A and B are shown apart, each in its own frame.
Chain A
Amino acid sequence: QSVLTQPPSMSGAPGQRVTISCTGSSSNIGAGYDVHWYQQLPGTAPKVLISGDNNRPSGVPDRFSGSKSGTSASLAITGLQAEDEADYYCQSYDSSLYAWVFGGGTKVTVL
């Protein structure tokens, strides 16, 4: 049971928009801690996709964007491409657990 809740899977056709939710609580996202997103391609280590709610590291396409409101955050992928098929994880910090916490991950399938 992950501290942050994500849908297990989502899918979309090429070119479509997919939005992945990440729901937390008052001790993590709701406390104002930033939400970060990682992309994990099959058989590889996670790679930071979005940091600090909506900052893209160099090299990350602007098709990826993040947002946060209250105790939830979202990752949007616009113009879905075949290469976006991967697992996506949200991450924050939890002040009651004194730990960095992750969502359970969302597998995105490109139809």
Chain B
Amino acid sequence: QVHLQESGPGLVKPSETLSLTCSFSGDSVYWNWIRQPAGKGLEWIGYVYYTGSTSYNPSLKSRVTISIDSSKKQISLKLTSVTAADTAMYYCATRIFGEYYFDTWGHGTLVTVSS
């Protein structure tokens, strides 16, 4: 069974880079980041495959980097040039091979973009 725990700075200044970490236990194939602004819907940010290959939401692709460090059992998310619109709860979630849904979610970490 997979367990996920997100962590990172709760406050980021506009124009800076948001950096988050998802620590995991257990095995999966696709490791995803999904975000949710307060009171709003969910947005898929992207995933890293266990081999290190990635896929990103085209709406965020120019600003996003997701990577995996299997030895540390960590997934990282970097989002550059943030604005207030990037303020959201950020979730780490897994997807198993051959399936198109997110089967396990972390508790999420809240990031506020403000000066």
The listed residue (B40, B44, B102, B105) touching A101 by CB distance below 8 A is B44
B41 touches A48 (CB 8 A): no
- Complex CA–CA separation, A100 to B107 (angstroms): 20
Which A residues are CB-close (under 8 A) to B108?
A: 45
Size bin of chain A's contact surface: 20 to 34
- Complex CA–CA separation, A50 to B109 (angstroms): 25
- Complex CA–CA separation, A92 to B91 (angstroms): 18
The listed residue (A2, A45, A92) touching B105 by CB distance below 8 A is A45
Residue B97 is within 8 A (CB to CB) of chain A in the complex: no
**Nearest Cβ on chain B to A57's Cβ, whole angstroms:** 8
Which B residues are CB-close (under 8 A) to A111?
A: none
Q: Given A34-B101, A51-B99, A51-B101, do A46 and B58 touch, yes or no (CB 8 Å)? A: no
- Complex CA–CA separation, A101 to B42 (angstroms): 8
A105 touches B41 (CB 8 A): yes
The listed residue (B32, B41, B99) touching A104 by CB distance below 8 A is B41
**How would you classify the secondary structure of chain B's contact residues: helix, strand, loop or mixed?**
loop
Residue among A2, A45, A48, A102 facing the most chain B CB atoms (10 A cut-off):
A45
- Complex CA–CA separation, A50 to B58 (angstroms): 27
Whose C-beta in chain B lies nearest to the C-beta of A93?
B100
Closest 9 CB pairs of A and B: A36-B101, A100-B44, A45-B105, A102-B42, A104-B41, A51-B101, A99-B57, A105-B41, A93-B100
Residues of A that sit less than 8 Å from B by CB: 2, 33-34, 36, 38, 44-48, 51-52, 57, 89, 91-93, 97-105
Given A45-B106, A52-B99, 15 further pairs, Cβ under 8 A: A2-B41, A33-B100, A45-B91, A45-B107, A46-B91, A46-B105, A47-B105, A52-B101, A89-B42, A97-B58, A99-B59, A102-B41, A102-B42, A103-B41, A104-B40
